[in-house]
Structure 1
């Protein structure tokens, strides 16, 4: 990352780490976050064979850590509003790395299931804490670009998982090897994140620094969040996007193996192109476009994200409708759909930061991720798995029915989920301007508490 791309408007003081250094560390942690998340999807067929699972059980397994992440996200987000966010993020990274290693050691299905639940607990801490931290490094008109650089961990981590996990599993003759190897860099980055000297809350906002939220104002914060009307659209959008993203992330490799008859390694390479490379381009381009739109008005950024999600719905349908002899159609159109869909991620956290007070942002992000993961991230793999098994049940040809059932389930659900996300962003666009003005007025007119010293 070029330093010119990641330095904030004001130079950091000697009392805290530089913005570029913090962003780089948080990016590395996020890369490991999504690498660890993607591992079971890449080696899903060997896991399914060893434990004797059907697609519904695979969906439940894929959703295990998502459900826990959703439930743990709200209290961990609130915790990050009260204590140093680097501590919450760093210890979370340490915990999920430990459970990733456990995934490669435990030999029973329920042991593996429990390890994925543990991964969810650790990862639940990361997004709310880091989202709030990034908002204090960059002003509103530069947050989409900074957030897109941070979120590059999603496509890069996923791409690395798809490119390496299958090869590692083949080289070590065990699907467990990638889990053990992935844990090592996680411990190293966790130690470095824990040593971050973070900025004061609200530093990059017009009203200036704020003190952390107190432990006793949770209900007041929750009531204030319910009055932010754009948040309702954001919740709908995040749920729809996560439904589509987790359905693709969980079942793309099995579709490529079953329906298109690719090997594990080849399916991983194709999956890396569809999810990793296109995600990389989408975030880099999306961050620039969204910040440019934000210079005109707060709602312009939201509308651009909404239109991108509409394109994602149309193009993903064209890709998933490809027949068995048209793999190129799947790769081209699903890649383009995924590229447009991931542009939304560069908008999500900056939009929340635009309408939520600085001392409440981690809690608000925790709520956003909780709802998105519960309804979307967990619901996507489970519903696709149930629909796949249901469609396959009526056919006498088990293998062919399983392939067609899974592909049809994806073709039905993924475009609909992207479309639902687009509706949510259009709803949010109606209120984001007035919500931002109300937030700025509230912060400016309230008696600002003394800013806490930088940790």
Structure 2
């Protein structure tokens, strides 16, 4: 029988490890479906672009539609998860985004597809704040990076599965719409099981018993966030990381098709290696390294994440600058950059949980995701798409203007965004320890 999580005398007891493992596993499956659904338009982007007659700027807007909605909806839904059972927010959101994923295959025309992606954004915006808060109550601080890295494995695995399967499904059924229908069914099933999770007590994994819920008015639940200095650096880091990650996720397949001449299935397979396999390695290894650093101090975990992001900037620049005859350079170095960059995701939620009390965590995570998605997740595809069109218009060769414009836009923006994220985490590292001490002291004083 699994041993329960150890707690200091007098502290609330966290659920036994077996229960925590089941919840983590189920939330991981939901997160896998989250990122599978997100990645689908990117994999079949060229057929969508051709059917609707879009340029790269319009493609960027389409890719950002659900991100913009997720950013706006994430704040109230995060605050809602601070007031009602978080499993209800996460489970219902999973059902909503699965239904809208199917709608993307059924609604006619560009605006119908656009509306479906907006609906997907509303559903998905509920998941990360609610589940991030749940995991923080299942695992103590020194184990949260590993737990969060396992949860975030849904990102590379879901993306990998989308890149490996969506193109083949589209080719087999003769339409890019088929993968969207196939993706909706498991989401509805998993939503049913998420809704049946037993809600853990808020603050159960904190070392101070005074951090229990019900101590502060929900109307004031986000005000303490503005007083936490490390949060500002984390907001910059999350925006920078999302800019790079969403730019890669949206335009990697088109780059492989236009610049390197791969067909849809081959481009999906190569893209799956870059953003799936290496992301898997980065999260598994990163979670362990970050938790080891956290045993020294919360600031050490933050500095390790900053160093990983800096490495991502260097390697992604080398990879994206590869010439047309050097596909191996793109695959090797962009994979290394992506692997180092994704380590940040294993640190982001644990660092917020280190400095924000249990009563405000879902709302604080909602704010962080909102800022990151607005400035990064939505801004990345739109800015890269617009820059691609501008560079293509100035190209001397009309034949490969689109390929040259997109490849150059990615080479400029992605490494710079990773560098900005690294700077944000370095700023946050300077005050994380003091902010955590303040949070625990407030809990002990209540």
TM-score, normalised via structure 1 length: 0.94
Work out the CA distance in 2 between the residues paired with 1:257 and 1:44: 11
Cα displacement string for residues 35-88 of structure 1 (whole angstroms, at most 9, x for unaligned residues): 000000000000000000000000000000000000000000000000000000
Q: Superposed, which structure 2 residues align to 1:115-154 within 5 Å?
A: 115-154=116-155
2:173 aligned with 1:172: yes
Do the aligned residues in 1 keep the contact of 2:5 with 2:15 (CA within 8 Å)? no
Do the aligned residues in 2 keep the contact of 1:57 with 1:385 (CA within 8 Å)? yes
Q: Which runs of 5+ in 2 are unaligned?
A: 8-12
Deviates more, 1:203-212 or 1:276-285: 203-212
Deviation at 1:106, TM superposition (A): 1.3
**Residue of structure 2 in register with 1:211 after alignment:** 213
Q: Secondary structure of 2:424's match?
A: helix
Work out the CA distance in 1 between the residues paired with 2:255 and 2:382: 16
Q: Secondary structure of 1:398's match?
A: coil
**Residue of structure 2 in register with 1:74 after alignment:** 75
Work out the CA distance in 1 between the residues paired with 2:18 and 2:212: 19
Q: Which runs of 5+ in 1 are unaligned?
A: 447-455
**Residue of structure 1 in register with 2:408 after alignment:** 408
Work out the CA distance in 1 between the residues paired with 2:62 and 2:195: 31
2:309 aligned with 1:326: no
Q: Secondary structure of 1:83's match?
A: coil
Paired residues in the alignment total 440
**Residue of structure 1 in register with 2:445 after alignment:** 445
**Residue of structure 2 in register with 1:91 after alignment:** 92
Cα displacement string for residues 153-203 of structure 1 (whole angstroms, at most 9, x for unaligned residues): 000000000000000000000100000000000000000000000210000
Do the aligned residues in 1 keep the contact of 2:222 with 2:360 (CA within 8 Å)? no
2:351 aligned with 1:351: yes
Cα displacement string for residues 138-158 of structure 1 (whole angstroms, at most 9, x for unaligned residues): 000000000000000000000
Work out the CA distance in 1 between the residues paired with 2:410 and 2:320: 7
Cα displacement string for residues 309-331 of structure 1 (whole angstroms, at most 9, x for unaligned residues): 00000000000000000000000
**Residue of structure 2 in register with 1:197 after alignment:** 198
Using a 3 Å threshold, how does the CA distance of structure 1 residues 249 and 202 change in structure 2: closer, same or farther?
same
Using a 3 Å threshold, how does the CA distance of structure 1 residues 385 and 87 change in structure 2: closer, same or farther?
same
**Residue of structure 2 in register with 1:366 after alignment:** 366
Superposed CA RMSD: 1.6
Q: Secondary structure of 1:312's match?
A: helix
Q: Secondary structure of 2:430's match?
A: helix
**Residue of structure 2 in register with 1:249 after alignment:** 249
Q: Superposed, which structure 2 residues align to 1:393-404 within 5 Å?
A: 393-395=393-395, 397-404=397-404
Work out the CA distance in 2 between the residues paired with 1:223 and 1:9: 32
Q: Superposed, which structure 2 residues align to 1:219-230 within 5 Å?
A: 220-230=220-230
TM-score, normalised via structure 2 length: 0.96
2:302 aligned with 1:317: no
Do the aligned residues in 2 keep the contact of 1:290 with 1:347 (CA within 8 Å)? yes
Q: Secondary structure of 1:324's match?
A: coil
2:376 aligned with 1:388: no
Deviation at 1:213, TM superposition (A): 7.1
Q: Secondary structure of 1:234's match?
A: helix
2:305 aligned with 1:283: no
Cα displacement string for residues 232-265 of structure 1 (whole angstroms, at most 9, x for unaligned residues): 0000000000000000000000000000000000
Deviation at 1:210, TM superposition (A): 1.8
Do the aligned residues in 2 keep the contact of 1:7 with 1:20 (CA within 8 Å)? no
**Residue of structure 2 in register with 1:62 after alignment:** 63
**Residue of structure 2 in register with 1:453 after alignment:** none
> Stretches of 4+ moved more than 2 A in 1?
6-14, 211-214, 220-223, 395-399
**Residue of structure 2 in register with 1:262 after alignment:** 262
**Residue of structure 1 in register with 2:109 after alignment:** 108
**Residue of structure 2 in register with 1:449 after alignment:** none
**Residue of structure 2 in register with 1:378 after alignment:** 378
Deviation at 1:12, TM superposition (A): 5.8
Using a 3 Å threshold, how does the CA distance of structure 1 residues 213 and 371 change in structure 2: closer, same or farther?
farther
Work out the CA distance in 1 between the residues paired with 2:257 and 2:152: 28
Work out the CA distance in 2 between the residues paired with 1:7 and 1:91: 29
Deviation at 1:7, TM superposition (A): 7.3
Deviation at 1:212, TM superposition (A): 4.9
Deviation at 1:224, TM superposition (A): 1.0
2:222 aligned with 1:188: no
